[in-house]
Structure 1
Amino acid sequence: MEIISEAMINGIPLVLVVLGLVEWSKRLGLSGKALQLLSMLVGIVLGVLYQYSVFPLVTFAEWFGAVVYGLALGLIASGVYDAVRSAVTRG
C-alpha cells in the first residue's frame, strides 16, 4: 500500500485534493462538524478509488486496507485543515 504522503494523481497530492474540496464546500456554506465529516467521507472515497487505481481490490483484506487508507487520508486532511484554521485565527 502506498504511503499517504506519496499518493499523487497526475502529480497532485491526494491530501491537497481533499483539503481543496473541503475548502470549496466551506465557501458553499458548509461549516463546523459537517466539514470534518465531509473531510472523512471525501478521504475515504478518494482513498479507496486511489487504491483501486493502483491494483484491483478483490479480497476483503484489500478492501479493508483501502478503507483504512481512506480513513487515514481523511484524518490527515482534517487535521491539517484544523491546524491551518487554528493558526489563521490566532494570527
Structure 2
Amino acid sequence: MEMISESMINGIPLVLVVLGLVEWSKRLGVSGKALQILSMLVGVVLGVLYQFSQQPLEGFSVWFGAVVYGLALGLVASGIYDAVRSAVNRG
C-alpha cells in the first residue's frame, strides 16, 4: 500500500482533491462539524476507489486495508484543513 503522500491520480495528489472538495462544499454552505465529517467521508470513498484502481479488492483484509487507507487520507486532509484555518485566523 502506498503512503498517503505518494497517492497521485494523473499527477494530482489525492489529498489535494479531498481538500478541494471540502473547500468547494464550504462555499456551498456546509459548515462546522459537517466539514470534518465530509472530509472523512470523501477521504474514505476516494481512498477505497484509489486502492481499487491499484488492484482488485478481494478478501476482507484487502478491503479493511483500503478503508483504513481512506480513513488516513480523510484524517490527513482534515488535519491540513484545520492547520491552514488556524494559521489564517491567527494572521
TM range (shorter): over 0.9
Aligned to 1:87: 87
Count of aligned residue pairs for this structure pair? 91
1:19 corresponds to which letter in structure 2? Answer: L
Write the mapping of 1:12-51 to structure 2, written as runs, cut at 5 A.
Answer: 12-51=12-51
Aligned to 1:71: 71
TM-score by length of 2: 0.99
Runs of 4+ in structure 1 deviating by more than 3 angstroms, as ranges, are none
Unpaired runs of 5+ in structure 1? none
What's the CA shift for 1:80? 0.2
What's the CA shift for 1:45? 0.1
1:9 corresponds to which letter in structure 2? Answer: I
CA distance in 2, matches of 1:31, 1:86: 15
Unpaired runs of 5+ in structure 2? none
TM-score by length of 1: 0.99
Aligned to 1:58: 58
Identity of aligned residues (%): 84
RMSD across aligned positions (CA):
0.2
1:36 corresponds to which letter in structure 2? Answer: Q
